[in-house]
Every structure is written in C-alpha cells, then in structure tokens.
A and B are shown apart, each in its own frame.
Chain A
Amino acid sequence: MALLQITEPGQAVDPHQRKRAAGLDLGTTNSLIASVREGVAETLPDEQGRHMLPSVVRYASGGIIVGDEALTEAVNDSMNTIVSVKRLMGRGIEDLATLGDQLPYRFSASEGGMPRIETISGSVTPVEVSAEILRTLVDRASATLDGDLDGVVITVPAYFDDAQRQATKDAAQLAGVNVLRLLNEPTAAAIAYGLDSGSEGVIAIYDLGGGTFDISLLRLRKGVFEVLATGGDSALGGDDFDRAIAGWIVEQSGYAKPLATEQLRGLLMASRAIKESLTDNAKVDIDFDRDGVQFKGALDRATFDELVAPLVDASIKACRRAVRDAGVELGDIHNVVLVGGSTRVPQVIDQVANYFGKTPLNNMDPDKVVAVGAAVQANILVGNKPDDEMLLLDVLPLSLGLETVGGLAEKVISRNTAIPTERAQEFTTYKDGQTAMLIHVLQGERELVADCRSLARFELTGIPPMVAGAAKIEVMFNVDADGLLSVSARETSTGTQASVEVKPSYGLTDEEITSMLQASFEHATEDANQRSLMEARVESGRVIEALGNALAEDGAALLMESDIQALQQAIEKLGSLSEGEDHLAISEGTELLGRASEEFASLRMDAAVRKALAGRNIEEVDKEI
C-alpha cells in the first residue's frame, strides 16, 4: 500500500500495483466518495476540506456548478438549479405529479418518456444531472489519489427498481467511469459495520434518509454477506418529518390559505432546523414570521414525537414485513445498524430499539457509512485484495412479472430471490392464426398492471399461424448481479427463431446515450478517436493482464504445453498491436484473444468449482466435472 505514496505521477507503473477504486454514495441531498487508503476506508474531502457534496447542480450561463456553490443559489435561481435529482431518476414524465413536491422546474418530455429539465444552457435529463455530480466526485478522487480511477462502486437504495438502477448506470456511463457494481445502500452499510465487528450472524440495517426508507436483513456467515430480505418505502424519509413540523406551524399560526411554493420552501427549511435542534434539545423556541405565516411559541420533543409517530410506525411496519420475508425470528437478529441522517432523531432510535429489543448501533457516522462500505467493496472488486474471501450475495428487491389477460400482473421472479438469476415462463396464443404477441414487462408486488411499474413493452412477431393455444412462447428473464433485467422471448414449438431481446430502460434510448456521449466529447478538448484508442488499450491491457495471471496460476495444471505457448504468443501479439494507433485493430485483437482463451477460462471455472467441493464425500462428482 505504501507504493501509492512513492509513485510519482507519470512514472512507469507496475501492472501489479494497487488499482485506484472508490465507493460513491449518490444521495438525494448529499453525495460522498470514499476510498481505501493504507488499509483504511475513508471519505475524501475536497480542497476546502468538505466531505459532503450537496447533490445540487446549477446550470449557469458561465458553465455548470456542482455542490455548495450551486446550493447557495438554489433559492435565487431555482429554475436552473437542480436539487434532489435522485428522486427523478428512472421516472417518467407522468410520474412527476406523484412525487409529492411542487418542483420549480420547466419540464419537457424526451423520446423515451423521460423528463427533460429546461435550463438556461439547454434541456438536461436527470441522468445528465447525476452524471455531473458523479464527475465532480470522481475528479476529486482522481486528484486525491493521483490518477484516474480504475473502477467505482455506486450505491443505490435497495428499493430502487430496474429503471432507477439502469438510470444510475447510464449516468455513470455518461460520466465516463467504470462501474464495478451497483451496491444496495444498506448492504454497503452492513459491510462497513460487519467488517468492523467481524461477528457472524443476522444483521438488520435500518436506513432512513432524506427521502427514502430501506430495511435490509443480512446474514454474515463464512465471510459471505447474504441478503435475506429487503423492503422499505421509497417515499418515506426525513423530508416527511420536516413536512409534519411545517404543517404543525401552519396549524398553530392559523394561516388558512393554501401555501405558495416559496412559502413552503421557507417553512420547510425552518422546520428542518427545528427538527435537527430537537435531537439535542427537549424543546425549541420558534419565532417564525415569513410570507404571511406568523407563529411564536415552542415545539417540545413530546409533541414532535407525536407528529412523526405515524411516519416512524410506517417504517417499523416495513421492518416487521422484512423480518417475516427473511424467515428469521427477532431473537435471531444480533445487531441492528442505523444508517441515514434521519436516524439521529431520538424517537426513531427509541422505536427501533423497542421493536428489535436491542440497542441499535450508531457509532459510525450515519452520513458516511454507506460510502465507506462501498469503498471497501470497490477495493476488493478492483482486485486489490485477491485473497479476500468477502463476498456479497444480493437479492432482487421487487418482483418482476408480465402482463396477462385482464390487466393482471403475473410474477415471473419474486422479490428477495437471490441474484444473478434467470427464469423462463411459457405462454400461448389465445386466437387462431395469431402471429404476434405483446410482451409487457412489469415490476412490483401488486396484482393489477396499473399498480405496477411498467419497465418495457415489446412485440414478438413472426409466430407461425397455428390454432389458439398451440404456439409455445417462452419468455426468459435474466437478472444480473447488479439487479438489472434483460428479457427475451421466442416461439419454441416450431423452433422458429422469432426472438426479441430488450433491456428495459425507462428513459434514455441507446441512441440518446450515444449522442450525449458524442456531445460531451465534442465539448472536451480530447478527440473522440484518441479516447477510443485509450479505451481499447485499457481493455486489451486488462485482458492481457488477466490472462497472464491465469496462465501463471493454472496454466500448467490445466493446459498442454503447446496450448500455453499458443496463448502466450497470442498475448504477445496483442501486446504489440496495442502499441499501434488503430483502436479498431486493438479491439478486434482483444476479442480474438478472448475467444482463443474461452476453453481455458471454462476449465478454470470448473477447477474452481471442484476446489470448492474438494475433500467432500462424493468423488464421482469430481470426476464428472
């Protein structure tokens, strides 16, 4: 690890040197970046020593401003200053009305139904706004760590649906960062705490942020974090506490007219300060006089507790459900961890302690713990700790399904199924001679299509005409380790190759992403060709290094001498190709080497499986593999 300190920028780098990795907590209100340095995971401050970056982006005539400097203008230039963009991620334009807040932006719809926000410097999508926040943090890390990042882990609420996850990944792609994994926020917190305590057993993570609530139950066993169940409420958070106080103030003041946006904003800011003050004080004096709302008095803890009781109760109810889903008893849970700024509220701590029957842990900064956990995971994933046994097994947070007759949703994969996973469902035609079928992919727990989130719609055409019920349509769902879904469909009875594959992505189409990327290249001084060349070299270098390591480790055991030599020659060839300037040739060479080593990769995987079962009782399995 000391290597990092003595390496001069620009100095030739040993390929086996530590890689630069970071964990990113892309929050609704604030965002953070953390990295493991000298064995310690910590959040990275900016030049002014500020760790938290307000998740605020201002599109000014002079350029884009992110963070504190943008936040100070949020009230004066609200239309061009985007706050809480996370709440818009993966949402359609028609969802905006349901978000509860009056948003001060001018919206228009993009091709994919994603809202675009009109600003002084053109219209932007939530994905682009998020990309600015990501870029700011990544730049900070590159400056601190003296070089470009090799990979990042980005955290998302466990309750994020497929569209929201996809949007987050799109933002990272736009920001030009290599995403090693999307990680659920509570899981990240569990890693931070789990590694800290090192004790095995079931852990509950209660994560109450500004706008969302997550509850996750994990089991730590043999170095593996296994998510047992996850649940929550994507519209429950500290902001609701502020609203409860604001409502109380209005009621006390006797103000009867409906509130204007500015009035509400002022009230909410004051309410938030009152809430925070009530964490350490039993009573807070209030002297509010703004925009016609007048109130002089005090709010004590007991009244505040009453105000927020329904909100806290709703979170405890979600806990009960998750505990049940996990199939554990309350007594099995040996640690309860608090995450998120809103868990500073004493009433929350009391109620959580009361329900779980034990004092929750909150000795780590609830604002930083998610980024810290993500950094630990990023450090492992990037390959800095090859001997580390830690592994994370996550689950699908919300059920996936298809629309069937009568507007009903049929579940194909239920929530809390371990990922990656796949499942096929068979359907048939309902009309004679039917040659096409509409496939509507849904996510959610409700029975009616209207109550679920629509992820994608596509048509399977070219079904051979048959009598109703004779065709067999197989719809295949694949969910990867990030929890992202892809769906394909084919007609199986005749072997007709009628097959469609879609990657649900609410919002940006592939074309939009490409054009955005191109636009950003044009803005940058760097030439697009140069960038492609760099990327091709990075990828070829990765393949060369990975295959070289694999050959050194397992080549002799698994391959014939002649095969080893052939692969080594191919590696050398790609190496010299990479020194050239033709990015297409390098990419092609990388692809070819990949194919040439396919068999070897497969043999290695089998050997790994065999190793996992080594010393077990069934020898014949060994032979069979």
Chain B
Amino acid sequence: MDFNRNYFEIFGLPVDYAVAEELLADRFLDLQKQVHPDRFAAGTDQEKRLAMQWATLVNTANETLRAPLPRAIYMLELRGVALKHNPALPPSFLMDQIDLREQLEEIEEDEGDLEELDSFRKKMLQAINVVQAKFKEALDEDIDKAERLVYELQFLSKLMVSANRLEEKLLDY
C-alpha cells in the first residue's frame, strides 16, 4: 500500500485544477464503501487499523480536492512549492484588499444592509472565480505567478468568510 499516492490518483482523476465535482463525490463514496472501518467492524484489529488509515486518507483527499483553495494549495505542493507565511504582494492588490475590508465594515456600520452585503458577496465570488481561472492557466506556465495567485485567493477567501459571518450575524443565525 502506498499512502503517498497523490490525491488525484486516489480517486482516479486527472491531475487538473478543474475537478469534476460530481465524479469526485461519486468516487469518494465508492472508495469509502470499500475502506471504511465499519466494513471491518467484525474483522481483525489489523484490518481495522488499515481501514482506519485508508478511510482517513480518503477523507483528507476528498476535503483537499473538493474546495478550490485547498486544491490550489495542494497543486502547488505537488510542484514543490510551499506557501510562505508572510508573502510579499503587489501594493495595488493590498490597497484593493484594504478597500474591500472597509466596504464590508461600512455595510456593518450601516445597520447591516442585506442587499448591499449580497452584492458585495457576489462581487467577491466573481473576483474569486477570476483568480481561479488565472491560477489554472498560470500553473503550467508561470509557477511564481500561480503562487502569487494563491495568496490572492487566500485573501479573498478570508474576506468571504468575514462576509458570511456578517450575514450570519445580521440574520441572527
């Protein structure tokens, strides 16, 4: 058994940033049906241990590939790129980020206009999609650029989390 096989191979998928979500979900279930510890509840300790390792691996692989940001980070990792903790980013990008943060704070101070928040989130989603498309392209052509795009993606994702949290607060979840 090789636990070092890459996550795409585990699901029999091509190593490609554009993942067929339905197919991934299907194969995730197919694999868990074979390796989940419940399949070995009446088995030997050794089978249980193996099943536990496999099921853990399949879960981790699925979570990594399912969401765009972890998938992007993982694809950089496959190419030997480890993310930096404090990356240098273009000032213009950082200025945009500060601007967006301020917009979000304004929405909150504005007694939380839900419509404004909604359009803000739509704008963010669009921005994330654009960065993702650029990342897919850059991955094979310019690895440094791909790395920078992942940092951008991280920023945007964090902002999106904040926006979602604000929505939860406004809707009293």
Contacts and interface: CB of A to CB of B under 8 A. Distances in A.
Nearest to B14: A618
Given A613-B12, A613-B27, A625-B2, A481 B42 contact: no
B94 interface: no
B35 interface: yes
B168 interface: yes
B36 A324 contact: no
Interface in B26-72: 26-27, 29-39, 41-47, 50-52, 54-56, 59-60, 62-63
B44 A320 contact: no
Interface stretch (A3-11, A443-451, A600-608): A600-608
A580 to B, nearest CB: 21
B143 to A, nearest CB: 24
Of the candidates A150, A389, A393, A543, the one having the most CB atoms from chain B within 10 angstroms of its own CB is A393
Interface of B: 1-2, 5, 9, 11-14, 26-27, 29-39, 41-47, 50-52, 54-56, 59-60, 62-63, 168, 171-173
A618 B12 contact: yes
Nearest to B164: A324
B138 to A, nearest CB: 25
Contacts of B29: 221-222, 224, 226, 391
Contacts of B59: 417-421
Contacts of B60: 421-422
B34 to A, nearest CB: 4
Interface in A591-620: 594-595, 597-598, 601-602, 605-606, 608-609, 611-613, 616-618
Nearest to B33: A391
Contact of B62 (A418, A480, A543, A606): A418
A381 interface: yes
Contacts of A340: none
A614 to B, nearest CB: 9
Is the contact region of chain A dominated by helix, strand, or loop, or is it mixed? mixed
Given A181-B41, A606-B1, A422 B46 contact: no
Contacts of A382: 41-42
B173 A391 contact: no
Contacts of A606: 1
A621 interface: yes
Interface residues on A, range: 35 or more
The 7 closest A-B pairs by CB, nearest first: A381-B41, A383-B42, A608-B34, A612-B30, A616-B12, A613-B12, A418-B59
A157 interface: no
Given A151-B41, A221-B29, 4 more contacts: A321-B168, A382-B41, A420-B56, A542-B44
Given A317-B172, A317-B173, A321-B173, A480 B54 contact: no
A226 B32 CA distance: 11
A547 B43 CA distance: 9
Contacts of A625: 2, 5
Of the candidates A478, A547, A605, A624, the one having the most CB atoms from chain B within 10 angstroms of its own CB is A605
B69 to A, nearest CB: 14
A417 B64 CA distance: 12
Interface in A507-542: 542
A324 B30 CA distance: 26
Of the candidates B42, B59, B173, the one having the most CB atoms from chain A within 10 angstroms of its own CB is B42
B19 to A, nearest CB: 14
A389 to B, nearest CB: 6
A608 B36 contact: no
A546 interface: yes
Nearest to B49: A601
Contact of A546 (B13, B26, B44, B51): B44
B43 to A, nearest CB: 5
Contacts of B30: 222, 612-613
Interface in A374-416: 380-383, 389, 391-393
Of the candidates A19, A419, A608, the one having the most CB atoms from chain B within 10 angstroms of its own CB is A608
Interface string A480-494: 110000000000000
B36 A391 contact: yes
Contacts of B38: 181, 380-381, 391-392, 481
Given A382-B41, A420-B52, A481-B55, A393 B32 contact: yes
A180 interface: yes
Nearest to A382: B42
A420 B45 contact: no
A433 B91 CA distance: 38
Nearest to A543: B44
A389 B173 contact: no
B37 A481 contact: yes
Nearest to B25: A221
Contacts of A608: 34-35
A173 to B, nearest CB: 16
B36 A393 contact: yes
Contacts of B36: 391, 393, 481
Contacts of A389: 33
A151 B48 CA distance: 15
Contact of B46 (A180, A320, A420, A597): A597
Contact of B42 (A478, A546, A602): A546
A420 B55 contact: yes
Contact of B47 (A180, A321, A546, A621): A546
A480 B34 contact: no
Contact of B45 (A392, A421, A594, A609): A594
